[in-house]
Structure 1
Amino acid sequence: MKVLWGLGKLLTLLFWSVVLVNLLTPFVYPLYLLVNLAGGLLVVLHLLEALLSFRTLRGRAHPWLDRLKIVIFGVFHLQTIPAPTAPKASHA
């Protein structure tokens, strides 16, 4: 599974580089609009993911770095974060 999440992160970085190149030198007429639309939609989705995972990341060592990675990579970073463990109850 780690290979798939790593490949997803790599492809996401490739997509963000295409969006950045499109912003610097726009592509041909219909394509640049579609790339901008897809990039804007992905930004909104990743910000929503970061907002929804706010409470989950609170106990992490570097929660703001994790939030930044969620904004960049989205679910591909969320899946690499280990699930929080519940404290064991002591029954006296």
Structure 2
Amino acid sequence: MKVFLGAAKVLALLFWLTVVVNLFEPFAQPFGLLLHFCGGLLLVINGYQLVLRSVGLREQSVLWCARALLFGPLQRDEVPMAALELAHA
């Protein structure tokens, strides 16, 4: 399972790299606009998920929040157990 999770994270990083490259060197018109839209939508969805999940997880580092924005639901398994116990207490 960890192999699939790692592969999914690599694909997510490749997607975000493509979005950043598209900002500096735009692709052909239908693809560039679609990539901007998908990247923005994914960033909004991951940000909304981060806000919903971090209500009880206020003590997380900035690095964890950045990884949660990049990877979204793939980051779910890496929440420290101590933070989850504090959230449910």
With the shorter chain as reference, the TM-score category is: 0.7 to 0.9
Superposed displacement of residue 7, structure 1: 1.2
Aligned to 2:14: 14
1:9 partner letter: K
SS in 2 for 1:58: coil
Q: Percent of pairs identical after alignment?
A: 37
Distance 2:57 2:3 in 1: 23
Listed as ranges, the gaps of 5+ residues in structure 1 are 87-92
Q: Letter of the aligned partner of 1:77 in structure 2? A: Q
TM-score by length of 2: 0.80
Return the alpha-carbon distance in structure 1 between the equivalents of residues 61 and 57 of structure 2. Answer: 5
Question: Which residue type is aligned with residue 26 of structure 2?
Answer: P
The answer to whether structure 1 residue 42 and structure 2 residue 42 are counterparts is: yes
Aligned amino acid, residue 3 of structure 2: V
Q: 4+ residue runs of structure 1 moved beyond 4 angstroms? A: none
1:63 aligned onto 2:80: no
| Pairing 1:76–2:74 present | yes
Checking the alignment, whether the CA contact within 8 Å between 1:12 and 1:73 is kept in structure 2 is: yes
Equivalent in the alignment of 1:26: 26
Question: Is the contact made by 1:69 and 1:77 (CA closer than 8 Å) also made in structure 2?
Answer: yes
Partner SS, residue 79 of structure 2: coil
In the TM superposition, residue 40 of structure 1 has moved relative to its aligned partner by 0.5
Per the normalisation by structure 1, the TM-score is 0.78
Larger Rg: 1 or 2? Answer: 1
Higher helix share: 2
CA-based RMSD: 1.8
